[in-house]
Structure 1
Amino acid sequence: MAEPAPAPLELDPKYDDYDYPTTAPTPQSGHPGYLTPQQQAQVHQLRLLLESEGYKERLDTLTLLRFLRARKFDVELAKTMFIECEKWRQETKLDELLPTWEYPEKEEVFKYYPQYYHKTDKDGRPVYIEQLGGIDLTAMYKITTAERMLTNLAVEYERVADPRLPACSRKAGTLLETCCTIMDFKGVGLAKAPQVYGYVKQASALSQNYYPERLGHLYLINTPWGFSTVWSVVKGWLDPVTVKKIHVLGSNYQKELLAQIPAENLPKQFGGTCECEGGCHLSDMGPWREEQWARPAKWEKKKKEAEAAAKNEPAAAKEGTEADAGAPAAAEAADAAKEDAAVPAAA
């Protein structure tokens, strides 16, 4: 099959205010910069359907494309998936929690279950690492709760969407929408397997249902004896596109990992050379921490705006008409700022 010809992504100024590249790094049908006229029309159709049902948030083109790709560009199925995601966000109050979320028990939880983003692979994508061997849910639930663990996972997914991936895209000079994931099974024996796989199943469902099209590569390392046999059966149930992204490795994984991740970006315990001060698992190092590429996330901006508004409330109440007189000017300034933000940066 011939590679799709590049075509500029049709942006909607009402929703699309990207300040990073919007063309995928490789030609793939259905990906930004390589849409057919029909696929572009399906983006517009999905947006109109969602608007007609009262949805106003997350209707930007890149988000809608991820939901469409996840449902093979079946607009009705993508619409159902999007609505179910929005219902989940509302039930969990994720948008309210995100700007102020704190996870002070993180360091204690990580003694049992490190889950962290750390630098980038050779394609510029964030590297995400999970170490499953130390999971002890009984001990962990004395420190935190299952609900808080899953909420923190969702918050981290939100932070992948913004600010991590935008920063990586700016640095790479091309749109990056996926992560390179390492799941380390070292220490996962028969006794631990049920609780390990039970939690991983919950976390995977959250990822698949609400954060589609975020998987770039998945390396399963130090997989236990017999895992390859199970995998040979399981992969028959999966989409071939997904199967191509998953690499099941045993204990001799270093060569393949280093083919995808620079040694200086890979923690030393996995065969790399990186030794962050305080531990790689707590550093959160990456382009999103580099001044040249980092920008405040949209949810961070909303938090600052809310804090500024809260500080002005008492003064506004005292000044009465003076505060009212200043409102139109403030509104005009806010509108001007929105218009500036709506101008997409060149890819």
Structure 2
Amino acid sequence: MSEKYDDYNFPHTHDEGASPPGHPGNLTEIQGAQVHQLRAKLESQGYTARLDTNTLLRYLRARKFDVNLAEAMYIKAEAWRKENDIWEKGRTLDDIVATWDYPEKPEIFKHYPQYYHKIDKDGRPVYIEQLGKINLTAMGKITTQERMLTNLAFEYEKVADPRLPACSRKAGKLLETCCTIMDLKGVGLTTIPSAYGYLKRASVISQDYYPERLGKLYIINAPWGFSTVWSIISGWLDPVTVQKIKVLGSSYSAALLEQIPAENLPVEFGGSCKCEGGCSLSDAGPWNEAQYQGSFFKSGANASGIKPAEAAPAPEATA
């Protein structure tokens, strides 16, 4: 633990033996030393934000505890937060998160629902994405790909703070990952190719800048032949990742309900939840319940290391 950076105000370690080595509360002596080594290397280069132990461990796990590779991954992510081809020069992701507004969301979600909705039986946020509905042509008439990707990054930031801290408080234990439902209903021969450019950019954001956030992934309504393709793809993936993924056809409800309480699962997926105004826009979950809210750190700083009062104002975004 680092007294300087680890000022959490929610459960921040696992019980010993409750998670594999390499996770908070279950580190080998060598892994603990690698955290200190990575932090020292980054501090020597002037980095001061996102150096808490849990964040550094995610980068280390993503790179099999190779300190040099984890360092490179962290630096690449920090550079991306400051400048890339998504938002305009002179603004950082921290600036944008402080004032982000996405009024076109209801219209966008008609063509590509992507949302967090309540929690699974382990207490983790449930993330639902309906890939088969994606229609970039229609979405392009509503907003830009850059704003869509900015909102994606904003939602990832909210996973770090406030979603996972609130879920950890409610569960009384550290939670670092999400339970994801990827619905392929409607995916056809033209769906993915037409959206490939956007999906590739979105995938880079997920893999390169927000590592180790996948807890479980249910791929539902997998089309005919997908299982054959998956058997090949899974051979290329890390076995640890493969164990987190279940590929299901149209008879998926029972499997989802084993992991997600019926009252937390939208009706269209076999649950009983019918949020007023629609589950996709409700953002229901512990992160919106007063008793579980709070900043990431006791000091009042958020996951980016910025206290709310310090967040710089940004120009109003335009569609």
Query: What amino acid is the match of 2:206?
Result: S
Larger Rg: 1
Unmatched 5+ stretches in structure 2: 85-91, 314-319
Aligned match of 1:45: 37
What is the one-letter code of the residue matched to 1:208?
Answer: Q
Conservation of the 8 A alpha-carbon contact between 1:132 and 1:196: no
Q: Which amino acid aligns with 1:35?
A: L
Shift of 1:136: 1.1
The answer to whether 1:228 aligns with 2:227 is: yes
Return the match for 1:67 from 45, 59, 63.
Answer: 59
Q: State which of 16, 22, 26 in structure 2 corresponds to 1:30.
A: 22
Question: Alpha carbons of 1:32 and 1:99: their partners in 2 closer, same or farther (altered >3 Å)?
Answer: same
- Aligned AA (1:255): A
TM-score, normalising length: structure 2: 0.90
Conserved in 1, the CA contact under 8 Å of 2:98 and 2:312? no
Cα distance in 1 for residues equivalent to 2:183 and 2:312: 41
> Structure 1: which 4+ aligned runs deviate by more than 2 Å?
24-27, 195-202, 296-308
| Contact 2:227 2:247 survives alignment (8 Å) | yes
Residue by residue, what CA displacement relative to the aligned partner does 1:257-282 show, whole Å, maximum 9, x if unpaired? 00000000000000000000010000
Answer yes or no: is 1:18 the counterpart of 2:8. Answer: yes
Q: Which amino acid aligns with 2:81?
A: R
CA separation in 2, counterparts of 1:195 and 1:183?
18
Give the 3 Å change call, closer, same or farther, for CA 12–254 of structure 1 in structure 2: same
**Structure 2 residue 250 is the aligned partner of structure 1 residue 251:** yes
1:185 corresponds in structure 2 to 184
- Displacement of 1:77 after TM fit? 0.5
Cα deviation, 1:24-54, whole Å, max 9, x if unaligned, reads 2623110111101110010000000001111
Q: Write the mapping of 1:158-177 to structure 2, written as runs, cut at 5 A.
A: 158-177=157-176
Paired amino acid for 2:284: M
Q: Structure 2 vs 1, CA of residues 307 and 70 (structure 1 numbering), >3 Å: closer, same or farther?
A: closer
> How far apart in 1 are the matches of 2:166 and 2:223?
36
Deviation at 1:193, TM superposition (A): 2.7
SS in 2 for 1:247: strand
With normalisation by structure 1, the TM-score equals 0.83
AA aligned opposite 2:13: T
Q: Alignment partner of 2:95: what SS?
A: helix
- What is the DSSP-based 3-state SS (H/G/I as helix, E as strand, rest coil) of the residue aligned with 2:26? coil
Choose which of 293, 301, 307 in structure 2 pairs with 1:302: 307
Which structure 2 residues correspond to residues 142-221 of structure 1 after superposition, within 5 A?
Answer: 142-221=141-220
C-alpha displacement of 1:226: 1.4
Q: What's 2:317 paired with?
A: none
Q: Which range is displaced more, 221-230 or 19-28?
A: 19-28
Rounded Cα–Cα distance in structure 2 between residues aligned with 1:197 and 1:287: 34
Counterparts in 2 of 1:211 and 1:307: CA distance versus 1, 3 Å: closer
Aligned equivalents of 2:196, 2:244: Cα separation in 1:
20
Distance 1:127 1:259 in 2: 13
Q: In the TM superposition, what is the alpha-carbon distance from 1:17 to its structure 2 partner?
A: 1.0
Q: Is the 8 A contact 1:222 1:250 kept in 2?
A: yes
Q: CA RMSD in A?
A: 1.6
Which residue in 1 is equivalent to 2:94? 95
Deviation at 1:302, TM superposition (A): 3.0
Shift of 1:305: 4.6
User: Cα offset for 1:95?
Assistant: 1.1
**Residue matched to 2:240:** 241
Deviation at 1:202, TM superposition (A): 2.4
In 1, Cα distance between the equivalents of 2:233 and 2:99?
A: 39
Give the gaps of 5 or more residues in structure 1.
1-10, 309-347
Contact 1:126 1:164 in 2 (8 A): yes
Q: 1:268 touches 1:274 (CA, 8 Å); kept in 2?
A: yes
Matched residue SS, 2:219: strand
User: How do 1:99-138 residues align onto structure 2 when only pairs under 5 Å count?
Assistant: 99-138=98-137
Residue type of the alignment partner of 2:27: L
Post-superposition offset of 1:296: 4.0
Matched residue type, 1:175: L
**Are the equivalent residues in 1 in contact too, given 2:9–2:295 (CA < 8 A)?**
no
Q: Which amino acid aligns with 1:164?
A: R
Q: Distance in 1 between matches of 2:230 and 2:197?
A: 17
Aligned to 1:319: none
Share of identical aligned residues, percent? 68
The question of 1:81 aligning with 2:80 is answered: no
Q: 1:38 to 1:307 in 2, by over 3 A?
A: closer
Which structure 2 residues correspond to residues 265-276 of structure 1 after superposition, within 5 A? 265-276=264-275
- Structure 2 residue matching 1:234: 3-state secondary structure: helix
Q: Does the 8 A contact of 1:98 with 1:299 survive in 2? A: no
CA distance in 1, matches of 2:295, 2:33: 32
Q: How big is the shift at 1:134? A: 1.7
Cα deviation, residue 138, structure 1 = 1.1
Cα distance, 1:299 vs structure 2: 4.4
The SS at the match of 1:256 is helix
Offset of residue 14 of structure 1: 1.0
Relative to total residues, which structure has the larger helix share, 1 or 2? 1
